[in-house]
Structure 1
Amino acid sequence: MLSACATSGTAKRVCLSSEDFESKTVQAGGFVEFAFGADRPFPQCHASTVARTQDGTFIAAWFGGTKEKDDDVAIWTARRVSGAWTAPVKTAKIEDSAHWNPVLFTDAQGKTHLFFKVGPEIPFWRTYCMTTGDNGTTWSEPRELVAGDAGGRGPVKNKPIILSDGSWLAPASTEHGGWKPFVDRSEDNGATWTRSADFAIDKATLKGEGAIQPTLWESSPGKVHALLRTAAGRVWRADSEDYGKTWSPVHATRLPNNNSGLDALLLEDGRLLLVYNPVDKNWGPRTPLDLAVSTDNGKTFSAIAHLENDPDPDSEYSYPAIIRTKEGVGVSYTYNRDLVRVWHIPLSALE
């Protein structure tokens, strides 16, 4: 089981401790904060997401309730305004069944979208979407993303990306009769969506359920790539040459994976950032949580820093989200199912 600052392939660099990287981040003008405190109005929370609006407001969202899958679980949000987080607000609760996996996404016009899943069982999820025009203060009424959907269309955990041709690509997966990744494509700013075929999986090489929860990036026009969560102890990958319309079969990478979510972000200079648990055991500990970088389009990664490195195997720092901001990158993640932690990391702190 890998636990120190992990490296895949041959890339090497000095890996900072979480304490040193937090200090470096704050000294560069960023912040490391909890989105709410111990007086939260829900016992547990998970699956956070983060967005930055045009006026500089940070929005965090997560699901919270008694525990994951319970009927009282709702979608909550908080906003960081003038250097402080507002109290959590129950933003979406459309029926008395569990709500799951919110995904925030700010489009090219500056509108922020909130996608989330609803349903007591994962194979029968329905996807809903809301939007805000006032930086997360108020939200539109939820609408079903694809009418009549059963299984979960649109983003399943990670943010959509805007491709070089202007279309949106949402990383998606279902869990009915196995884990099946795909993408949803919109050419009209999210009004309608076209589903790709499921990524091909060779069950002889990828043992277990399959692959889920892709994270996407476009390395050059039309060339799109996905890293995927699996139960096989490794991150798997798929690639597209046609703007995500068709995909290669999934194939193994050297990156460890503990059957937990991960997220990636491509910077303008070609660096690919990845936030993940570098643990190679199925259902292994969800600690540490690392920020890593690739300079060869995801072939190899080297750790920049631990974001969290509690040696207690029962601790949990998981389900990260990473986004681009004007000054750098924003990261959010589950903190022991009690809290949501948010980093704003200036680009200078990544050097």
Structure 2
Amino acid sequence: MTDGVLRRRPDGAAEAFLPTHTVQSHAANLALLPDGSLGCVWFGGTQEGMADIGIWFSRLPAGGDRFTDPVPLSDDPHRSEQNPVLFVAPDGELWLLHTAQHAGDQDTAVVRVRRSATSGREWTPTEDLISSDEGGVFVRQPPVVLPSGRWLLPTFTCRRVGDRPWTGDHDISSVRCASSWQETLVPESTGLVHMNITPRIGGYVAYFRSRWADHVYRSVCGEDGVSWQPPRPTELPNNNSSIQAVKLDDGRTVMALNASSRRTATARRVSLYDEIDDNGIVEGAGPQVLPVDDTGERTAFWGAPRAPLILAVSHDDGVTWPVRHSLANGDGYALSNNSRDGRNRELSYPSILPDGGGGLHIAFTHHRKAIRYLHLPTVPS
């Protein structure tokens, strides 16, 4: 099945499962490349957090019907390389941004970069781009180019408190301006990550994944791109998993997300990365309310269902989302990062991109076994 071949469906959509050379494949990101092809990157290896996790790249040639055999774009033997993002700069140079961390310690992550002047056929050597003394710096969404020409990169910082291991409870979002990458924090964004910036009249809107697994959050900003209002919950659910939104030429905003939250969880992980050890996987059940630590602070909720995957449509810059369209369904449990034993069943981490003709390119994680691609000829209205 993972042959990369586009197959037409009765509903008019096209679907492919990208080729893979690894046990696990996760966190796809799409971009239209300067040569007209569709580029897709993701991370793959045996298991998230392991040092053999690296970045992979495949393309769908313009007018083609098959994704190319993927090639590796990173190979750090000591760090897990994750969350790749493709970005075509205004001068046509293709950038690959990704993270690199020690094992499951997201508070050790740095952001790295490679560049290509040949639409991904040849790349510059890998460089460290952003790090922080406050914790690990992560990316998930592409930079935004302001009218001034300045680039704005959304990031989040994974912070630990005292001697406690990282859990996600204190992660915080920010924006960083090239080329100094000076950071501006988003106020009241603790627990809100994967900041996804879209344009609006007079400024910008951003959407956030919630560590609390309750709702997608939303914030607005003026034209400067840095003066963000405190994020507030939307009507859309969130399961502490990734989302992605884009603004269409007709003014609508479309978002791909999981229609689930902690309220629909039936079991949850003991912790995110405790399971990565020499003894295998540790799983357990837990309460379906947002837990608190011994200080009384709320803690991140892990293990809410990562299915179904839907497309939501807004006509008012994300204030309301009256249109919901199913993209993929399944049982959606994600109690583990383990792929070797089939303990992931998730339809998650979507990336969406307008095709320039009224349709959408969509890529997402299919049970961590493959990256699944959909092409919708039209956007549901």
TM-score, normalised to structure 2, is 0.76
Equivalent in the alignment of 2:191: 210
Distance in 2 separating the partners of 1:71 and 1:146: 20
Are 2:53 and 1:73 aligned? Answer: yes
Q: How far apart are 1:335 and its partner, in Å?
A: 0.7
Equivalent in the alignment of 2:30: 50
Equivalent in the alignment of 1:161: 144
* Contact 2:258 2:348 (8 Å CA) reproduced: yes
Task: Classify 1:255/1:90 alpha carbon distance in 2 versus 1 (closer, same or farther; 3 Å).
Answer: same
Q: How far apart are 1:22 and its partner, in Å?
A: 5.3
Distance in 2 separating the partners of 1:34 and 1:165: 39
Q: How far apart are 1:321 and its partner, in Å?
A: 1.2
- State which drifts further: 330-339 or 224-233: 224-233
Q: How far apart are 1:102 and its partner, in Å?
A: 0.4
Are 2:132 and 1:101 aligned? Answer: no
* Contact 2:217 2:232 (8 Å CA) reproduced: yes
Equivalent in the alignment of 1:62: 42
Are 2:315 and 1:295 aligned? Answer: yes
Q: What is the CA RMSD across the aligned residues, in angstroms? A: 2.2
CA displacement 1:256-290 (0-9 Å, x = unmatched): 00110101001122100100001121532101000
Aligned pairs for 1:10-49 within 5 A: 23-26=10-13, 31-36=14-19, 40-49=20-29
- Count of residues in correspondence between the two structures: 310
Aligned pairs for 1:1-351 within 5 A: 23-26=10-13, 31-36=14-19, 40-81=20-61, 82-120=64-102, 121-146=105-130, 151-153=135-137, 156-177=139-160, 178-186=170-178, 191-201=179-189, 210-221=191-202, 223-232=203-212, 233-281=214-262, 282=301, 283-311=303-331, 313=333, 315-327=345-357, 328-346=359-377, 348-351=378-381
Give secondary structure in 2 for the equivalent of 1:99.
Answer: strand
* Contact 1:182 1:197 (8 Å CA) reproduced: yes
* Contact 1:51 1:105 (8 Å CA) reproduced: yes
1:185 maps to a residue whose letter is: C
Q: How far apart are 1:88 and its partner, in Å?
A: 1.6
Task: Classify 1:164/1:135 alpha carbon distance in 2 versus 1 (closer, same or farther; 3 Å).
Answer: same
Distance in 1 separating the partners of 2:133 and 2:122: 26
Runs of 5+ in structure 1 lacking a partner?
Answer: 1-20, 202-208
* Contact 1:25 1:349 (8 Å CA) reproduced: no
Distance in 2 separating the partners of 1:304 and 1:176: 34
Give secondary structure in 2 for the equivalent of 1:119.
Answer: strand
Distance in 1 separating the partners of 2:219 and 2:114: 30
Runs of 5+ in structure 2 lacking a partner?
Answer: 1-7, 161-169, 263-300, 335-344
Distance in 1 separating the partners of 2:348 and 2:373: 12
Task: Classify 1:312/1:141 alpha carbon distance in 2 versus 1 (closer, same or farther; 3 Å).
Answer: closer
Task: Classify 1:258/1:137 alpha carbon distance in 2 versus 1 (closer, same or farther; 3 Å).
Answer: same
Higher relative contact order (CA 8 A, sep 6+): 1
Q: How far apart are 1:312 and its partner, in Å?
A: 5.3
Q: How far apart are 1:158 and its partner, in Å?
A: 1.4
1:326 maps to a residue whose letter is: G
Q: How far apart are 1:44 and its partner, in Å?
A: 0.7
Give secondary structure in 1 for the equivalent of 2:330.
Answer: coil
Distance in 1 separating the partners of 2:10 and 2:115: 35
TM-score, normalised to structure 1, is 0.82
Q: How far apart are 1:149 and its partner, in Å?
A: 6.9
* Contact 1:196 1:245 (8 Å CA) reproduced: yes
Identity %: 28
Q: How far apart are 1:122 and its partner, in Å?
A: 0.8
Q: How far apart are 1:148 and its partner, in Å?
A: 6.9
* Contact 1:294 1:300 (8 Å CA) reproduced: yes
CA displacement 1:75-107 (0-9 Å, x = unmatched): 111122232111121111134221110011122
Structure having the higher helix fraction is 1
Task: Classify 1:24/1:168 alpha carbon distance in 2 versus 1 (closer, same or farther; 3 Å).
Answer: farther
* Contact 2:100 2:111 (8 Å CA) reproduced: yes
* Contact 1:321 1:332 (8 Å CA) reproduced: yes
Equivalent in the alignment of 1:205: none
